[in-house]
Amino acid sequence: MATTFITLVNDTLRRLNEVEVTADDFSSVIGFRAQVKDAVNASLHEISQKEYGFPFNYGTGSLTLVVGTKTYSLAATFKTASWDSFRINYDSVNNYAARKLKQINYDTYLKRFFSRDSESGTGDYDQPVYVYRTPDNKAGFTPVTNATYSVSYDYFAFHTDLSGSTDAMTVPDAFKHVVIDGALYHCYMFRDNLQQAAITKGKFDEGIDRMRTLLINRFTDVRDTRVGRLINVPHGNA
C-alpha cells in the first residue's frame, strides 16, 4: 500500500521530536507543522527533478491527428515526452495498422520536409512516418496527415503536490526513507540548522543515487529520449 501524506508528515515530525498531526486537524495545521507538509512536497519535487526517468514518473498520453494539421500541443503536466515512443494505434474500423513513428530532430525536418509540407496540396498528404519536436515543444508529424489517426506516446511527469491526508506518493514504499531525508533537510534549513541540514542533504542525495541504480541503471532497455541519437534519415526518404 502506498505511503500517505499524513504518514510522511508524521514520520518527519517524529524524527524532529515534534507532536504528530491527526487526520482531523491535518488540513488546518499552521506554523512549523505546516512547514513540514511543504517540506515533504519539496522532497518529492526534488526527487522527480533530479531524475525524471524514474518509473513512477512514467505515463502514457494520446493525440488525435486530423487532416492537414502539422503540429499538436502536448499536455503541460509532464516534464518530457519520450520522443522515440510515438506510435499510430491500430484502427479496426478504418483498417489502419499499428505503426511506430520514427523520431527526427527539428533541423532535419526543416532541411528534408518543411518545403514539401508547406507547398504540397492535399493530394500529397499521407499517413505520417516521422515525429519531431518543435522549438515551442509541440509534436509535429510528417507527411502532413491524410486522415484521422489515434497516436499514443510515453512521457515522464512532474510531481503533483500531495494535499489531503490520504493522498499517496508515487515513490515506492521501499524508498520512503529517502523522501523523509529530503523533508528533514528542508526542515533543518527552515530552522537554520545548517550542520544537520548538510548531513541530511548528503543522505538524501545518496538515497536518490541508490534509487537511480536500483530503478533505472539496472535495466538495459531504458530509452534515450535525447533528440538526434535515434535515427538517421536518408536523403529523399519521405
3-state SS record for 164-215: CCCCECCCCHHHHHHHHHHHHHHHHHHCCCHHHHHHHHHHHHHHHHHHHHHH
In a domain, 116, yes or no: yes
Check if the beta carbon of residue 162 is closer than 8 Å to that of residue 41. Answer: yes
Residue 66: CB atoms within 10 A of its CB come to 11
**Nearest CA among 28, 2, 24, 6 for reference residue 183:** 6
In a domain, 207, yes or no: yes
- Indicate whether 141 and 183 sit together in one domain: no
Question: Could you give the CA distance from residue 39 to residue 181 in angstroms, rounded to a whole number?
Answer: 10
The one-digit pLDDT tens for each residue of the chain (238 residues) are: 689 999 999 999 999 999 999 999 999 999 999 999 999 999 999 998 888 889 998 889 999 999 999 999 987 777 788 999 999 999 999 899 999 999 999 999 999 999 999 886 777 899 999 999 999 989 999 999 999 999 999 998 888 999 999 999 999 999 999 999 999 999 999 999 999 999 999 999 999 999 999 998 765 444 444 443 333 444 444 4
Query: Dihedral (C-alpha) 213, 218, 223, 224: value to the nearest 10 degrees?
Result: 50
- Indicate whether 86 and 135 sit together in one domain: yes
In a domain, 73, yes or no: yes
What local confidence, expressed as pLDDT, does residue 154 receive?
92
In a domain, 237, yes or no: no
- Indicate whether 81 and 20 sit together in one domain: no
User: What domain range is 15 assigned to?
Assistant: 5-54+159-217
What local confidence, expressed as pLDDT, does residue 235 receive?
42
Residue 148: CB atoms within 10 A of its CB come to 12
Domain boundary among 157, 174, 192: 157
What local confidence, expressed as pLDDT, does residue 2 receive?
85
Using DSSP, state whether 71 is helix, strand or coil. Answer: strand
- Indicate whether 71 and 148 sit together in one domain: yes
What local confidence, expressed as pLDDT, does residue 218 receive?
62
- Indicate whether 113 and 197 sit together in one domain: no
- Indicate whether 45 and 116 sit together in one domain: no
Close Cβ partners of 99 (under 8 Å, ≥ 6 residues apart): 87, 88, 127
- Indicate whether 81 and 142 sit together in one domain: yes
Question: Could you give the CA distance from residue 86 to residue 121 in angstroms, rounded to a whole number?
Answer: 25
In a domain, 140, yes or no: yes
Q: How far apart, in Å, are the Cα atoms of 214 and each of 58, 59, 169?
A: 16, 20, 18
- Indicate whether 104 and 167 sit together in one domain: no
- Indicate whether 112 and 143 sit together in one domain: yes
Number of independent structural domains in the chain: 2
What local confidence, expressed as pLDDT, does residue 224 receive?
46
Q: What pTM value is reported for the model?
A: 0.74
Q: How far apart, in Å, are the Cα atoms of 114 and each of 107, 110, 132?
A: 10, 5, 12
In a domain, 112, yes or no: yes
Domain boundary among 106, 124, 157: 157
- Indicate whether 107 and 69 sit together in one domain: yes
- Indicate whether 68 and 147 sit together in one domain: yes
Residue with the three cell numbers 499552521? 30
Question: Could you give the CA distance from residue 156 to residue 166 in angstroms, rounded to a whole number?
Answer: 24
What local confidence, expressed as pLDDT, does residue 92 receive?
92
In a domain, 80, yes or no: yes
- Indicate whether 70 and 45 sit together in one domain: no
In a domain, 108, yes or no: yes
Question: Could you give the CA distance from residue 151 to residue 72 in angstroms, rounded to a whole number?
Answer: 11
